[in-house]
Amino acid sequence: MSTSAPHLVRRLGVWASTGIVVGITIGSGIFRTPASVAAHVTDPRLMLSVWVLGGALALCGALSFAELAATFPQSGGLYVFLREGWGRPAGFLFGWSELVLIRASAGGALATVFADYFLRSAGIEPGGYTTRVVAALALIVAAAINIRGIRLGAIVTGVSTIGKFGALACLVFAAFVFGGRSGGSTAHFTTTGSTVESASFGLALISVLWAYDGFADLSFAGGEVRHPQRTLPRAIVLGTIAIVAIYLLVNAAYLFVTPVDAIARSPLIAADTIAALFGDGAVEAVSVVVAVSTFGALVGTMLAPPRIFFAMADDGLFFRSVARVHPRYHTPHIAILIAVTLGILFVLTRTFDQLADTFVLTIWPFYALAIAGLYRLRRSRPELPRPYRVPGFPIVPAVFIAAAVYLVANAVVADPIWTGVTFGIVLAGIPAYLTIRGSDTSQRAATTVTTNRRRPRR
């Protein structure tokens, strides 16, 4: 009988990995954020240009992250990239932010949209306390699926991915084929001549980047991917390209059927588009599809990022109990429970827009810092195996970094109070790091002294 400790197992192939990228990304964004984007950018061509720009930036990020993932194919993803590129303090600061802000915001936002569409599919008016309770229950179920096993989580995510990608393709087809008889027109793409302030454009871009986010999440489970140095780059890049293509087509379909000012007033735009095409009787069906989509993304959210806490604890930068692997299911069950607990807290206290904006504003500076580490790692550690290299280096990573700087600067101008609060919470990780590091150093010193005392004299 083996007495070795439970460990994470490499079970995910290239198609399952690509499905995770697509499944996590197609969550709530494409069904909820078009309204926010149209509200900030009232010219239809500019609205579409925000989605094009966001897709280009997401692709730059995916191409850059693919090199990092192939170089460091370990559980923890972004945490590992920051640790290797900039040292343990940078890795810890991201892990701290992931714990107190990032993952709770992401899970809460996805669960909120799931609850809205689920309730609408059941004929119940969404909103208020009912939405929050259903969202909290969805988080609990998603956590249970992932504790049961990464393969089950990947299957749920993969099946929902096929369904929602196919549903979006059908929506595009139906909009352009049948939209003309329901008021659809290419005139909706005509510029209105309205001007857009830089701050409004930046806020719209934040909403778009929430919809595109997901290219980094597979790397969090890098320690459970088969042949990771080949599989991770392929899955990250192919998944992101597929997402950009379908998102641009879907937004064009929305705009063909519905004028930009009406999109701005339609938070449940997918359901409203189907209602315009086929009548109110079809709304329940599309609401079911969107509910499945967001739940699949929620399962993916619980699947990958808790591996960050696992990696941190394994490094001695978090509570050791968080590094425990379930003896039967081989999953980081303690880390998953932490993620779902914080997600429930956030979903009960914040709105969807607040959760989505907080997520983007917090995580994108870390994305940029990790990608900036590419330049440093190529100089300081040229001996590292790099089976995949960023095409267009050094321009492609630089474009992504410049975009992150713009987002932060725009957020400071547009909403200085909440931006300050957000970064204040992030920087609170510095004293937390010093405390944990000091405690760990003291414990190691005490262990060394005790060991020396027990050692017999010669």
Rounded to whole angstroms, the Cα distance separating 359 from 434 reads 25
Residue 151 maps to a domain = yes
Cα separation, 205 vs 213, in Å, equals 12
**Which residues lie closer than 8 Å to 417 by C-beta, 6 or more apart?**
none
Please report, for the domain that includes residue 39, its CATH number: 1.20.1740.10
Give the rounded distance of the alpha carbon of 130 from its chain centre. 25
Rg (CA), the chain: 22
Which of 250, 263, 193 is CA-nearest to residue 43? 193
Query: Is 1 part of any domain?
Result: no
- The one-character DSSP state at 224 is G
Q: Is residue 213 part of a domain?
A: yes
Give the pLDDT of residue 427: 93
pLDDT of residue 379: 94
Would you call 318 helix, strand, or coil by DSSP? coil
Structural domains of the chain, count:
1
Give the range of the structural domain holding residue 116, as residue numbers without chain letter.
14-382+390-427
> Is 458 domain-assigned?
no
pLDDT tens series, the chain, 458 aa: 444 444 556 777 888 788 778 877 877 788 888 998 999 998 999 999 999 999 999 999 999 998 998 898 877 788 889 999 999 999 999 988 987 888 788 888 889 888 988 888 887 877 778 889 999 999 999 888 878 766 666 666 666 677 777 878 888 999 999 998 888 899 999 887 777 777 788 889 988 998 898 888 787 777 778 888 888 888 899 989 999 999 999 999 999 999 999 999 888 888 889 888 888 777 787 888 788 778 877 877 776 556 677 678 777 787 777 667 777 777 777 777 877 888 888 888 888 888 888 888 999 999 999 999 999 999 999 999 888 899 999 999 999 999 999 988 888 888 888 889 899 999 999 998 888 777 655 555 444 444 444 454 44
7, part of any domain? no
Rounded CA-CA distance 4/299 in Å is 29
Query: Is position 419 within any domain?
Result: yes
Residue 198, pLDDT score? 72
- Flag whether 454 is in a domain: no
The answer to whether residue 104 sits within a structural domain is yes
Question: What pTM, to 2 d.p., does this model score?
Answer: 0.82
pLDDT of 5 reads 46
